[in-house]
Amino acid sequence: MRHLKRAVLVALSCVLVLVVVACSDQTAEANKAIDAANAQIQKYTKAGAALEQLMSQAEALPMDPENAKKGVDLTGQMTAKLDEQRAADSAANAEIEKVKAMKVRQEFRT
């Protein structure tokens, strides 16, 4: 009976140690932050593609007073896309900085 108690205590101690080690590893949390960063990078890329299209439209406009208003409108839209890119860039960098501060398994570090 004494050996059984000791065996159970040793087994419970091992389980406790494994739980503590598993909780101290923030790999799952880091994966979520990486997913969030990737989503922001996709937003950045999408805004960049839209910006390129707007720039092409602006370049194709004839240089005359009639098209000047269209050019101003396109410039406003391009500014908005640049703002989207800046916001996505800042959000992605913030998520990456979170990951840098986390404790993750060595095989996941680059």
Tens-binned pLDDT, residue by residue, of the chain (110 aa): 455 555 555 555 545 544 444 545 677 888 899 899 999 999 999 999 999 999 999 999 998 888 888 999 999 999 999 999 999 999 999 998 888 888 766 655 55
Task: Say whether pTM exceeds 0.85.
Answer: no
Compute the residue count for the chain.
Answer: 110
CA 82 and chain centroid, separation:
18
Per the CB < 8 A criterion, the answer to whether 28 and 35 are in contact is no
Structure tokens belonging to residue 31: 């994966």
The secondary structure of residue 74, as a DSSP letter, is H
3-state secondary structure of 25: coil
